[in-house]
A and B are shown apart, each in its own frame.
Chain A
Amino acid sequence: MYSFSYHRPASVAEAADLIANAADGKLVAGGQTLLPTMKHRLASPSDVIDLGAIAELGGIVVNGNIVTIGAMTSHAEVAASGEVQEAIPALAALAGNIGDPAVRNRGTIGGSIANNDPAADYPAALIALGATVRTNRREIAGEDFFAGMFETALEEDEIIVAVDFPRPEAAAYMKFENPASRYAIVGVFIARTADGARAAFTGATDCAHRAHRLEEALANDFSPAALADFQAPVDRMNADIHASAEYRAHLVRVMAQRAVAACA
């Protein structure tokens, strides 16, 4: 790892000042992606601004039908939260199956979505549940937040504060995981809401996206059988040593059917 200057601000405002004034600064949340990337020398920031001491970025609050999760909330905290388990059990289950227990103790929701790994789990949940990302400047719809591989709508010096999740009628996330990394080879998140079915997939293409065609297929018949003939576009699927494009297209349908079944 190349050397850098380390900062540990106590407030979002202070962190925003630090990142704005750094030559090539990086915010670090749990560091479970950034530190390995820096060890490989694929990233070499001049300044690392650790968000770990900022109390206002933590915590889980349920207010009516909105579950608010602070950006620095760890995957382990979301998985173990009675409030999340009650309001959106699929979200608690998703968080409890990211990486491994030690990674879940450090990794955070804010770090995960800001990184936007093409195979990350949380992005699919934000899109399908119609979540809203709140930053120190504005609110961004989950659907508009994920822009491409490791790209988001965030400005260089913008800081995620929290994510608001509306409570669905039912939801489920199914992923076919890489057995070593637990990243999704394909993951599909399905939510049944008052406005109809919402769906998103991850791991299949450049990053998580809303699955409009899955939603249309479920519009009149919210059942696994409604997806029996569903074909994901093979030419848009990722292909790598873990799975071919054809296999990923197949997995989109199978994971979607399982997620719909689990919503029942």
Chain B
Amino acid sequence: MVGAHVGNLATACTEAASSDGSPPAQIEFRNVTKMYGRTAALRDFSLTVRRGEFLTILGPSGSGKTTALMILAGFEAPSSGDILIAQKSVAAVPPFRRDQGIVFQSYALFPHLTVRQNLEFPLEMRGMKANDRLAKVDRTLEQVHLKEFGSRMPSQLSGGQQQRVALARALIADSPVLLLDEPLGALDRNLREQMQSEIKQLHREFGKTTIFVTHDQEEALTLSDRIVVMRAGRIEQVDAPEALYDRPISRFVANFLGEANILSQDGSDTFKGGAPAGKVAMIRPERITIRSFAFPSVDLEKRQSVMGHVEEMIYAGPLRKYHVRVGDEVLVVREHVASGQLIFQLGDRVQLSWLRSDVRFLAE
């Protein structure tokens, strides 16, 4: 009975996808609000996810990103608004009848089942025959390079291996949608980068509509087609990674994705950078050129410049970061380390300059 229902839903998904020329909307949030008592975890959340898209919901903890995902998965009911999957409202569909693969925070592998049994579970629930299951699990185990680990218990796997099992388990039933809830949070840096590229590769291979929730901006920039930046239950900005980094609309987005020098509103004229009322000027640290006070850059047609002195120098491998005090402000400058480069010392007088076109005006 469950199987039949799901079958319908799955077909519905495919039909909807092929009926339109442009990539059709696979998932749609319509003005979804979720209240917990008096506090809104999600406010008027509207979002369309296209078929095959890799979309990341990015935000600090408590910004509502996981709530949005849990509402989509059906574990939380929206207080108002609607969710559509393949143009059909799923507000009344319980989670076990929504065809979605989910990777949970800390994986949620069944500790009492072996890796193989974990992978079999979604297939079994869909009523697949034992023989077919066997073949499918074998194939999947090979795909995720865990062929020898089928009979292990999850607790006997390393973090990266557990992560792969969780991914495989979410993919194995060929659900059209893949939901990932901070899946890389528990891994160390190297492993995380490796898993990022594996996830990216899987997405290229299977082309599933993927929604990825994270608070890690680097992860978001690396993986996504589009990024939704959340703030206090609301969507702050939705855009492709490059656009988001390059043209943030607000101070919040600029600060959350990468580092940002906010040029104060009330300082000198240079610092205002010509910002209109109610807006602030922002320049990214890597857009600033740092020169010795003695040899300033002079192309003042296109460039703005200020004088200051080095307050701190941070060496970070391929990068060198300077904190430069200019009046009351401290600007951060990031420079790639190259040979023959002049290295400034603490207290050195320097000139900072940047292209006028690199300055962005943001909402406060």
B is bound to A: no
Give chain B's interface residues, CB within 8 Å of chain A.
none
Give chain A's interface residues, CB within 8 Å of chain B.
none
